[in-house]
Amino acid sequence: MKDSCAATSELLERYFDHEVSDEERSGIETHIEDCSACRDRIKTMEGLRNLLKSPVDEVEQKEDFSRVWLRIERGIQPEETPAWGESIRRWIDLILRKRVWVPAAAVIVAIFLALAPSVLKRSPSSSDPSVVEYVESQDYNVMVYESEKGNVTVIWLFEGPEKEGLSPS
């Protein structure tokens, strides 16, 4: 039995992976019927396989691959680069057309008139630190902290222990 076990043991992994000949398989299966040690080894390998495979199966089912395809589609689009001369000619044609520059000028004036009050009033200077105008968390405490140098603002969420009933992802 021991000799048989030693011989079978070397083949056990290949048997588990279906990489043995019919003759070898037959010999191993005969041995396993009477050898609990070899049966346990196979069970252990099955257990390991399940530990590795099950999470992958679960996660795969939840994924939305359609959005991945959209990203791929964007990634494979060729970049169009028109000839320089053609681009410049097109722009000149466009600008010189009265039907374009007259309404364009009108819109620019309108934009200026609309924005003037906002632009002329004091707008936040870039030397001001980033400002947290509003922060809310229904379930947790939040702290807002300004660093001494004023170039980093920290919002910290004090998340407690996971609430029971939340399903693991």
Partner 1 sequence: MEHDETKLISRCQEGDQEALKQIFDLYHNKVYRVAYGVLRHREEALDIVQEVFIKLFRSIRDFKRESRLSTYLYRMTVNTAIDHLRKMGKARVSSLDEEEAIQPAEEPERRPDRIFLYKELEGKVNEALNKLPVDQRTAMVLREVEGLSYQEIAETMKSSIGTVMSRLHYGRKRMQELLKDYLQEGAGK
Partner 2 sequence: MKRLSPFFIFAVVLLFFSTSPVFAQAQVRVRIIEASNAGSVVDPSLGDVHRDLAALFSFTSYRLLKDVNLNLVGNRPIEVLVHPGRSMEVTLIGGYRRLTELRIRIKREGVPILSTNVKLAAGRAILIGGPRHGEGTIIFAVSARF
Task: Return residues touching partner 1 (CB under 8 A).
Answer: 13-14, 17-19, 44-53, 55-56, 59-60, 63, 65, 68-69, 71-73, 75-76, 161-162, 164, 168
Q: With respect to partner 2, which residue has the nearer C-beta, 88 or 152?
A: 152
Tokens of 78: 């060729």
Q: What is the dihedral of CA 89, 94, 97, 102, to 10 degrees?
A: -150
The binder of 76, among partner 1, partner 2, none, by C-beta within 5 to 8 A per type, is: partner 1
Shortest reach from residue 15's CB to partner 2, in Å? 36
- Residue with Cβ nearer partner 1 (123 or 167): 167
For 148, list phi and psi in degrees, rounded to 5: -60, -35
Tokens 């300004």, located at residue: 146
Nearer to partner 2 (CB atom), residue 91 or residue 140: 140
User: Distance between CA 134 and CA 141 in Å, rounded?
Assistant: 14
Task: Find which of partner 2, partner 1, none residue 73 binds, CB within 5 to 8 Å per kind.
Answer: partner 1
Measured from the CB atom, the residue of 82 and 161 that comes closer to partner 2 is: 161
Q: Which residues, 6+ apart, have CB-to-CB distance to 144 below 8 Å?
A: 132, 135, 153, 154, 155, 156
Contacts with partner 2, residue ranges (CB under 8 A):
59, 102-103, 106-107, 110-111, 113-115, 118-119, 123-140, 142, 145, 147, 151-159, 162, 166-167, 169
If the CB atoms of residues 86 and 128 are measured against partner 2, the closer one turns out to be 128
Q: Which two tokens stand for residue 56?
A: 């992958």
From partner 2, partner 1, none, interface partner of 101 (C-beta below 5 to 8 A by class) = none
Q: Measure the CA–CA gap between 113 and 107, rounded to whole angstroms.
A: 10
Taking CA atoms, 134 is separated from 18, 48, 53, in Å, by: 62, 50, 45
